[in-house]
Amino acid sequence: SQQGEEDPQALSIQEGENATMNCSYKTSINNLQWYRQNSGRGLVHLILIRSNEREKHSGRLRVTLDTSKKSSSLLITASRAADTASYFCATDLTGYSTLTFGKGTMLLVSP
Amino acid sequence: KAGVTQTPRYLIKTRGQQVTLSCSPISGHRSVSWYQQTPGQGLQFLFEYFSETQRNKGNFPGRFSGRQFSNSRSEMNVSTLELGDSALYLCASSSRTSDGTGELFFGEGSRLTVL
């Protein structure tokens, strides 16, 4: 079963709006990462947040982590059409040496 | 620095055949992971190799196998192909950090179609 579950499965917004995606997970983690995938391509790493961190920023991206609720959110501010892609959260589980991915959120940003 | 290179990018096989996919990681990266991506199941972890040793394996049948060479290049093999094996196979390399798995660098994938 998937460790991380993103919500919503799909999101459609206009350029300039903010996009928020959520991720819930089930077990203890070392870190949580967000990735982006353009259609049919490889995944690109966006940001990593460690279990002892609560918030992290990178450009127009803001990630929060709540380990008590086992959840994370990715906020993309001032969205652009070029942000159209699928976004995945991935958890680094304690005791494992690889990442477990959710099924992703498909974001469509219309001009 | 060159990125992760996967070959071939596209291939078509028929049921019962076997296929070998190749992955060259980023120079200096010793960990290579393989994932299968399908519309229905999403990204499913296949296996991970580190310094030529399989360190983790996902829940896939024995038809799926892999190996890693001394130069960290990796191959995965799928024998007796089934229609359900049609997928995008993604390889990712990483340099481990002391506090867990670091960032994964993905290749563009190998798109396998089984007819």
**pLDDT for residue A6:** 86
The CB density around residue A40, as the number of other CB atoms within 10 Å, is: 10
Q: For A3-57, what is each residue's pLDDT tens digit? A: 678 889 999 999 999 999 999 998 888 899 999 999 888 999 999 999 999 999 9
Amino acid at A54: R
Measured between beta carbons, the chain B residues lying within 8 angstroms of A56 are none
Q: Which residue of B has its CA nearest to A36?
A: B106
Are A48 and B90 an interchain contact pair (Cβ–Cβ within 8 Å)? no
- Position A97 confidence tier, pLDDT thresholds 50, 70, 90: low
**pLDDT for residue B73:** 97
What is the strand order of the sheet A5-7 is part of? Answer: A5-7, A19-24, A71-76, A61-66, A55-58
Measured between beta carbons, the chain B residues lying within 8 angstroms of A99 are 33, 45, 101, 104
Distance from CA of A56 to the nearest CA of B (A): 15
Average pLDDT over residues B32-55: 92
Q: For B83-111, what is each residue's pLDDT tens digit? A: 999 999 999 998 875 456 688 999 999 99
Q: Which residue has the higher pLDDT, A7 or B82?
A: B82
Measured between beta carbons, the chain B residues lying within 8 angstroms of A97 are 31, 48, 50, 55-56, 96, 101
The closest CB to that of A101, out of B43, B48, B103, belongs to B43
- Position A96 confidence tier, pLDDT thresholds 50, 70, 90: low
Task: Give yes or no for B57 touching A (CB within 8 A).
Answer: no
